[in-house]
Amino acid sequence: MASGKQDLRQRPRAAVERLILARDWEGLLLRAGELHGHYCPFLALGVRAGGEALLELGLDSDGMEDLVAVVETNGCFSDGIQCATGCTFGNNALVFKDVGKTAVTVVRRGGRGLRLRLRDVENFVAEHSPEAAELFEKVVVRREGSDEDREALKKAWTEISFKVVNLPAETLFEAERDVGVALPEYAPIYESRTCARCGERVMAPRTVAGPQGDLCLTCAGAPYFQLDGKGMTCVASR
């Protein structure tokens, strides 16, 4: 087996760690683009914040919940954080604090954290590219842009992203060190049950007792929580 593949088997994040150690922020942004699907300034900010946090706290991030990132937005910034830190929703090391701020706190369990937040700028994108801000308003906010406008936005976003990711960290973020963080316990392992109506397997805490047995929330017509572009919302089952 090639040494590169063997290295990745032993340390899946070896390539990401090398990029961070080398402060190759453009290379790290390229990796984040694979996840996010396009480049945008807030993805770049997430990449840089996550990379800076790991340089300060130590690179080791194996997705076993010992390193935790608490993000305060569910926007593009969070994808940059996930790529750089390896803390994701899937490995339970990413906590979503739904307060709508471009900020993250990275912490090792048993220690205190580093919080990085975007410096106070009225309109960060317009500050760096008025053209991108205008196109964003037209294409994304008003959903009125043509295909040409959409492509122009992607081009402008890409240019500003690779500019922003290389700016000095102190010009991008306010840093708070030695921050106390109330973290949830390690993710519990729940037993699975079978819904008496649809027959699908479901985590026990997401069931409702019915006369014929346990029902999943959908079959029970019970509300559930959903994370979408609006943040965390309670949704009524259809």
DSSP character for 33? H
Asked whether residue 116 carries a pLDDT value surpassing 90, the answer given is yes
Clarify whether residues 95 and 69 are in a common domain: yes
What does the pLDDT average to over 19-46?
A: 97
113-118: strand order across its sheet: 94-96, 67-71, 103-108, 113-118, 173-179
Has residue 39 been placed in a domain? Answer: yes
- Which class for 188: exposed (0-12), middle (13-18), buried (19 or more C-beta within 10 A)? exposed
Q: Which amino acid is at 165?
A: V
Give yes or no for a contact between 32 and 46, defined as CB atoms under 8 angstroms apart.
Answer: yes
Give yes or no for a contact between 103 and 72, defined as CB atoms under 8 angstroms apart.
Answer: yes
Q: pLDDT digit string (tens) for 2-29?
A: 666 767 788 899 999 999 999 999 999 9
d(CA 6, CA 139): 44
Model pLDDT, residue 5: 73
The per-residue pLDDT of the chain, averaged, comes to 94
Clarify whether residues 9 and 115 are in a common domain: yes
Model pLDDT, residue 119: 94
Has residue 144 been placed in a domain? Answer: no
Number of domains in the chain: 2
Model pLDDT, residue 68: 97
Give yes or no for a contact between 95 and 89, defined as CB atoms under 8 angstroms apart.
Answer: no
Give yes or no for a contact between 50 and 80, defined as CB atoms under 8 angstroms apart.
Answer: yes
Asked whether residue 42 carries a pLDDT value surpassing 90, the answer given is yes
d(CA 179, CA 111): 9
What does the pLDDT average to over 153-181?
A: 96
Clarify whether residues 58 and 23 are in a common domain: yes
What does the pLDDT average to over 146-159?
A: 95
Q: pLDDT digit string (tens) for 125-145?
A: 888 889 999 999 999 999 998
Please report, for residues 211, 218, 236, the alpha-carbon distance to residue 128 in angstroms, rounded to integers and kept in the order given: 61, 46, 41
Record the tokens describing residue 56, joined without a space.
Answer: 């300060």
Domain limits at 79? 3-120+157-179
Q: pLDDT digit string (tens) for 179-227?
A: 999 999 999 999 999 999 999 999 999 999 999 899 999 999 999 999 9
Residue 146: φ, ψ to 5°: -80, 175
Model pLDDT, residue 106: 98
State the pairing for strand pair 192-194/201-203. antiparallel
Q: pLDDT digit string (tens) for 68-110?
A: 999 999 999 999 999 999 999 999 999 999 999 999 999 999 8
Clarify whether residues 34 and 87 are in a common domain: yes
CATH number at residue 19: 3.30.1330.20
Has residue 82 been placed in a domain? Answer: yes
Give the DSSP H/E element, type plus range, for residue 7. helix 3-10
Clarify whether residues 214 and 168 are in a common domain: no
Has residue 50 been placed in a domain? Answer: yes
Clarify whether residues 56 and 105 are in a common domain: yes
State the pairing for strand pair 67-71/94-96. parallel
Q: Three-state SS for 235?
A: strand
